[in-house]
């Protein structure tokens, strides 16, 4: 008999509206520990310059808000909005820029913060657009990386975790706009 592990408490989580999760991939404590480490890595990597942390909405909003509080140097925050998935769980392939940051990017050290790298199409497209704005440096920080992307033109300098090739929700990640508010990351049934 095959059975999936259902950690105690998750099945009864009222935030899931009755939907079963297959398993918790990263719990709250694991996320907090790794985000603090990433904050230290980023602090050590930017010794001078004007750091602009650019969050890719909506998926990065929780990760970004935890991360910037672990970066121990001056910085500014702005956001980008791209859309690629619609309501599905499979990338549609087209990446549109829906909101462009108002902050001047030229001469800044830009850290693009992404929730998860899946096909890598979003990053390929956004990095190309951002490079044209002549930042002093441009790096990627991704909380999760599925390591399945082929033809990735830009690799993430900072990665929280390698992720299983499953559809993940929580800690900012959604399925059809639901489950972003889960404090842990789970894979859907």
Binding site for Mg ion (CB under 5 A): 85, 174
Strand pairing of 185-188 and 21-26?
A: antiparallel
Q: Which pair of tokens denotes residue 145?
A: 């990386």
Question: Is there binding between residue 122 and ligand IMP (CB under 6 A)?
Answer: yes
Catalytic residue among 109, 115, 118, 174: 118
Question: Is there binding between residue 135 and ligand IMP (CB under 6 A)?
Answer: no
> Measured from the CB atom, is 161 or 167 closer to Mg ion?
167
Among this protein's residues, is 66 annotated catalytic?
Answer: no
> Measured from the CB atom, is 161 or 167 closer to ligand IMP?
167
Strand partners, 110: 52, 138
Residues between 61 and 90 with contacts to ligand IMP, criterion CB under 6 A: 84-85
CB of 72 to Mg ion, least distance (A): 30
Question: Is there binding between residue 167 and ligand IMP (CB under 6 A)?
Answer: yes
> Measured from the CB atom, is 16 or 122 closer to ligand IMP?
122
* Sole binder of ligand IMP in the list 39, 120, 135, 160 (CB under 6 A): 120
Question: Is there binding between residue 59 and ligand IMP (CB under 6 A)?
Answer: yes
**Gap between the Cα atoms of 69 and 9, Å rounded:** 29
Helix (H, G, I), strand (E, B) or coil at 65: helix
Question: Is there binding between residue 116 and ligand IMP (CB under 6 A)?
Answer: yes
Provide the terminal-to-terminal Cα distance of the chain, rounded to the nearest Å: 17
Q: Which pair of tokens denotes residue 95?
A: 């990446």
**Gap between the Cα atoms of 85 and 83, Å rounded:** 6
Q: Which pair of tokens denotes residue 28?
A: 């709250």
**Gap between the Cα atoms of 111 and 38, Å rounded:** 12
- Return residues touching ligand IMP (CB under 6 A): 59, 84-85, 91, 114-122, 167-168, 173
Q: Which residues are catalytic?
A: 118
């Amino acid at each position: 008999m095959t059975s999936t592990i259902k950690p105690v408490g998750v099945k009864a989580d009222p935030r899931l509206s009755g939907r079963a999760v297959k398993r918790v991939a990263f719990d709250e404590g694991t996320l907090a520990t790794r985000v603090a480490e990433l904050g230290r890595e980023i602090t050590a990597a930017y010794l001078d310059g004007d750091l602009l942390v650019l969050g890719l909405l909506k998926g990065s909003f929780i990760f970004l808000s935890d991360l910037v509080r672990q970066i121990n140097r001056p910085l500014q925050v702005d956001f980008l909005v791209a859309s690629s998935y619609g309501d599905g769980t499979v990338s549609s392939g087209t990446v549109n820029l829906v909101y462009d940051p108002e902050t001047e990017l030229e001469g800044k050290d830009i850290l693009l913060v992404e929730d998860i790298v899946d096909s890598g199409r979003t990053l390929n497209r956004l990095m190309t657009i951002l490079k044209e704005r002549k930042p002093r440096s441009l790096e990627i920080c991704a909380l999760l990386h599925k390591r399945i992307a082929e033809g990735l033109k830009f690799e993430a300098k900072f990665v929280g975790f390698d992720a299983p090739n499953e559809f993940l929700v929580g800690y900012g990640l959604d399925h059809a706009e639901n489950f972003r508010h889960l404090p842990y990351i789970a894979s859907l049934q």
